[in-house]
Amino acid sequence: MARRIEVKHLKIAVAGGGSWATALVKMLCENLENLGWWMRNAQAVQHIEMKKHNPNYLSAVELPIDRLTLSTDLNRIAAESDCIIFAIPAAFLTPALEELGVPLKEKVVVSAIKGIVPEGNRIIGQYFIDEQGVPRDRLAVITGPCHAEEVALEKLSYLTVACENQRIAKKIARALRSDYIQTKISTDIYGAEYAAVLKNVYAIAAGIAHSLGYGDNFQAVLLSNAIREMSRFLAAVHPIERDIKDLAYLGDLLVTAYSSFSRNRMFGNMIGKGYTVRAAQLEMNMIAEGYYAASGIQQVKEAHGLKMPIASAVYSILYGGKSPEDTIEMLSTTLD
């Protein structure tokens, strides 16, 4: 067990029942005496309370039940917390919040979601500002590079907490930090969120290319172009000074595009092998956020008049019915 770091006066809850939510719960329980945890699945809640394991995700992780307040009632969890970390797939966020009566504008809201909300095509932070009235200085974002599976194994991992209020960022970072989790803080909430969205799209491209037989040399060129494409995009949608080589941008891109744990790379692999989108989703039994993100990013880039060959290639394969073989071959002639 990692040494505990004291975090006083911080009532935190996690919303979500998947692998990333479970990993966040594991990390936070290293430091917090009590943690709220909402998930929709009542059977999963009962199983965790009885067996101390999430039956569906990271099932090898033993969860400290004595520190958890589990519930399928989001209002209860929200009412008892002053900081809520959302780890719900972006496509399901709006339906999940329909039952919420507790005002989120009075909370610190943290997004650990790496996607775009389909309703209005907004990143999570903007959605919470527009729809829930959350003040910008009470909004935070958690990004990697960090895979839930490696958190489960307590392998050294890294997180970035972005918030315009650095006092809040430091508190959240401290709550997550342990012997196997290193944290840093940032003020670039929009850049961190868009980077987390884009890296999933690029990981799908990497997976498709891998399944088609393209090797490491091509992957290196692909990702070199991807980080430059990301840099141009971020400069257009949120033009502030940032180091694109930082962990939240380049670091998260690399781990998502290369790792065998990456569900977006896995999804791309399956698409390259000839699976339909629906068939790949059913076999994975997990959400590949990059699928939804490809459509959202396409709309944003068109609105800004940006040229993004890699993102466009993924979109044309997933939504335009284009051949993966022909599309990646054509893409390869544009990379430098």
pLDDT in tens, 152-186: 999 999 999 999 999 999 999 999 999 999 999 99
- Give the pLDDT band (50/70/90) at residue 285: confident
- Give the pLDDT band (50/70/90) at residue 9: low
- The predicted pLDDT at position 78 comes to 96
- Strand order of the β-sheet with 68-71 is 68-71, 35-38, 12-15, 83-86, 108-111, 139-143, 157-163, 181-186
According to DSSP, residue 247 is labeled I
Nearest to 272 by CA among 244, 238, 314, 239: 314
Separation between Cα atoms, residue 160 and residue 108, nearest integer Å: 17
CB atoms within 10 A of CB 154: 17
293 within 8 A of 116, measured Cβ to Cβ: yes
Note the pLDDT tens digit of each residue in 124-140.
999 999 999 999 999 99
pLDDT at 217 over 80: yes
- The predicted pLDDT at position 100 comes to 94
The mean pLDDT value for 320-333 works out to 97
- The predicted pLDDT at position 5 comes to 43
Which pTM does this prediction carry? 0.93
- Give the pLDDT band (50/70/90) at residue 8: low
The dihedral sign for the CA sequence 74, 200, 172, 134 = negative
Note the pLDDT tens digit of each residue in 50-106.
999 999 999 999 999 999 999 999 999 999 999 999 999 999 999 999 989 999 998
Note the pLDDT tens digit of each residue in 105-115.
989 999 999 99
144 within 8 A of 120, measured Cβ to Cβ: no
Q: List beta partners, residue 184.
A: 160
318 within 8 A of 290, measured Cβ to Cβ: no
Note the pLDDT tens digit of each residue in 290-302.
999 999 999 999 9
Q: Look at residue 331 and give its three-state secondary structure.
A: helix
Note the pLDDT tens digit of each residue in 308-326.
999 999 999 999 999 999 9
Percent of the chain at pLDDT > 90 equals 92
- In angstroms, how far is CA 173 from the centroid of its own chain? 16
Separation between Cα atoms, residue 42 and residue 126, nearest integer Å: 30
Nearest to 37 by CA among 58, 55, 50, 54: 54
Separation between Cα atoms, residue 148 and residue 282, nearest integer Å: 21
Give how far Cα 285 sits from Cα of 13, 18, 46, 280, Å.
25, 11, 21, 9
Note the pLDDT tens digit of each residue in 226-251.
999 999 999 999 999 999 999 999 99
- The predicted pLDDT at position 208 comes to 98
